[in-house]
A and B are shown apart, each in its own frame.
Chain A
Amino acid sequence: MKTALRIENLSVHYGKFTALDNVSLELQQHTTLGLVGESGSGKSTLARVIAGLITPDEGQVVLGSQTLGKKRSREQHKMIQMIFQNPDSSLNPKHTIRQILAEALLFHKIVERSGVDKRCKELLARVHIDERSLDRYPHEFSGGQRQRIAIARALSVEPSILIADEPTSALDVSVQLSVLELFNHLKSELNLTLLFISHDLGVINAISDTVAVMRHGKVLEINPKEQFFTHPETSYSRELLAAVTRMPTSNIEGGIS
């Protein structure tokens, strides 16, 4: 299996606070790494460093064979795309869906101007949104639909790595399920390499191939999903798993099949 992304000895400090403490991590191609941890554990900081939104104090990010420096080229930015928790603030409220999708496509020169409409429709179809929605504005959609649009935009530039930072946390449980199903569908259809961040272990279980646990800016455990959920290695992982309130009976089946 090929390594899509390698993180070496990353450290980030905010003033005196250490957000990332010598973190190393590898993301294999065409797999999903679920990153779990409590608030303040450094998950989002790590995502932002990888996406190039924060410059680390130490360490480096290696994408494929190239080391990503302080200043990234347009091409390097394109390779790593991000989806945020709150689609309300990541979609421009004054732009139509067509403008939102076209901007990314044209900026990164994915298609010619004449091909934009066709590509926009394909993208919407991919995330199960009616292609006639192109002239509508973000507020006309529900939270789940808006998150789908954000996913379509991130996918539009054909990134080699997709980072999703708590993409379902702001959604209702039933909508969360459908967005997770979409992620799982896209994963197999497009062979995505995905870094999926969540504090919700149920979500991590539904989406990941590998699980990494973070606490106080350090990665404590990296293991295949099955192993993490059945034989957690560290006492903190066990503490996390034990803290999840489960349904009172075991004969209730739920979730993604």
Chain B
Amino acid sequence: MISMNPILEIEGLSLAAKSKKQLVTNVSLSVGAGESLGIVGESGSGKSLTLRSILGLLPRGVEQVSGVIKCDGRAAMIFQDPRGALDPLCPVVRQLAEVVYYRQNVSRRASRTIALELLEMLGLPDSLKHTDRYPSQLSGGQCQRIVIAIALACKPGILLCDEPTTALDVTVQQQIIETITRLQSELGFAIVFVTHNLAIAAAMCSKLCVMKEGKIVERGDSLSLLQNPQDPYTQMLINAVLPLPEFERSAGV
């Protein structure tokens, strides 16, 4: 998967625990500007570690033993648990404005204006503009929108998503996916999307990597990879997607 002018390039990345246990082995990938790449795999496959290593956010006790990570432009990350990613003791608009202030080097007043624009862009309630609220006073989906707004406040060239919809209800999940997709087409950032949900990965990303036990076992264009999987593990993941019958959408809507 060689992209024309890549914004992110990982070559031969290996990660290991202090106990010398190999966690990620020789992972290489590249993402072009504005492109979206999905990394799918089950727990323990090393997909989140690979993503975190891009920002240097490895958990304590995990080290990069080899490999090169080249990232042109800023990277920002959104996490699985939006409440855990926010400061519970700081109202959300103030958190957002704070990031704008430091990242965009603007005045306090301007940072607040930009923060309010971001709120609007993410479809957050207007009431936040005059009454700021704490994360605990917002729903999970609203918190995730704040986290996305904070990520966008960094003006990222690449957005790293670590299972951002897994902790959310299906209807909210769909809204967040639509929001991320819309913002990507408006702002043109690249995406690396880590998930265990093949259907979501395929809907979000044009290219997929399948990871198992720290290695990439298969990669390719989303559609062809799903239609014609070469690796038995990919096939197994596809088989594990539970089918739903089509329903009559018309009735009474």
Most buried by A among B42, B43, B236, B244: B244
- Tell whether, in the assembled complex, residue A173 and residue B196 are in contact, meaning their CB atoms are under 8 Å apart: yes
Give the residues in chain A near B251, CB-CB below 8 Å: 231-232, 238
State which of A205, A232, A243 has its C-beta within 8 Å of the C-beta of B173. Answer: A243
Shortest Cβ distance from residue A133 to the other chain B in the assembled complex, whole angstroms:
21
Whether B197 contacts A38 by the Cβ 8 Å rule is no
B226 within 8 A of A: yes
- Best-surrounded residue of A174, A177, A245 (most CB of chain B within 10 A): A245
| A205-B247 contact in complex given A172-B42, A248-B222, C-beta closer than 8 Å | no
Complex CA gap A1/B133 in Å reads: 52
A252 within 8 A of B: yes
Q: Which residues 210-236 of A have a CB within 8 angstroms of B?
A: 226, 229-232, 235
B252 contacts A by Cβ under 8 Å: yes
Interface bracket on A: 35 or more
Interface residue B174 (Cβ < 8 Å from any Cβ of A): yes
- In the complex formed, the residue of A with least CB distance to B242 is A202
Asked if B252 contacts A235 (CB within 8 A), the reply is: yes
Neighbouring B residues of A200 by C-beta, 8 Å: 242
Q: Are B171 and A247 in contact, with the CB atoms below 8 A? A: no
B245/A254 in contact, CB under 8 A: no
Known contacts A247-B199, A248-B202; decide if A199 and B170 are in contact (CB<8 Å).
yes
Contact A173 B241 (CB under 8 A): yes
Query: Could you tell me if B245 and A229 are in contact, using CB atoms closer than 8 angstroms?
Result: yes
A206 in contact (CB, < 8 A): yes
Q: Interface on B for A, CB 8 Å cutoff?
A: 42-43, 140, 169-174, 177, 196-200, 202-203, 222-223, 226-227, 236-249, 251-253
Contact across chains for A246 and B244 when beta carbons are under 8 A apart: yes
- Min CB distance B227 to A, Å, is 6
Q: Is the CB of A254 within 8 A of B226?
A: no
State A229–B249 Cα separation when bound (angstroms): 11
Are A230 and B246 in contact (CB-based, < 8 A)?
yes
Tell me the minimal C-beta distance from B245 to chain A in angstroms. Answer: 5
A242 at the interface (CB under 8 A from B): yes
Cα distance, A255 to B242, chains bound together (Å)? 5
In the complex, whether A62 has a CB less than 8 A from a CB of chain B is: no
A245 touches B200 (CB 8 A): yes
Which residues of A are found within 8 Å of B203, using beta-carbon distances? 245, 248
Contact assessment for A176 and B240 in the assembled complex, using a CB-CB cutoff below 8 Å: yes
Task: List residues of chain A with CB within 8 A of the CB of B244.
Answer: 201-202, 205, 229, 241, 244, 246
CB of A240 closer than 8 Å to a CB of B: yes
In the bound complex, CA of A124 to CA of B247 (Å): 39
Point out the residue from B226, B248, B252 that lies within 8 Å of A252, measured CB to CB: B226
Is there an interface contact between A245 and B199, defined as CB atoms closer than 8 Å?
yes
A172-B42, A230-B246, A248-B226 known; A254 vs B240 contact (CB < 8 Å): yes
Q: Once the chains are docked, how many angstroms separate the CA of A150 from the CA of B249?
A: 39
Q: Determine whether the beta carbon of B237 is less than 8 Å from that of A174.
A: yes
Instruction: Report the Cα distance A177→B242, complex, angstroms.
Output: 8
A112 located at the interface, meaning its Cβ lies under 8 Å from any Cβ of chain B in the complex: no
- B43 and A247 form a contact (CB under 8 A): no
Q: Are A174 and B236 in contact (CB under 8 A)?
A: yes
CB of A251 within 8 A of CB of B227, answer yes
In the assembly, what is the distance between CA of A173 and CA of B247, in Å? 24
Partner of B253, one of A238, A240, A245, A247: A238
- Chain B residues with Cβ below 8 Å from A102 are none
Residues of B near A130 (CB, < 8 A) are: none
In angstroms, Cα B169 to Cα A243, docked, is 9
B240 close to A238 (CB less than 8 A): no
Q: Which residues of A contact B248 (CB under 8 A)?
A: 230-232
* A243 B171 Cβ-Cβ under 8 A: yes
Our pick among B198, B239, B252 for the contact of A255 (Cβ within 8 Å) is B239
State the CA gap A150–B226 with chains docked (Å). 34
Contact between B243 and A249, CB atoms less than 8 A apart:
no
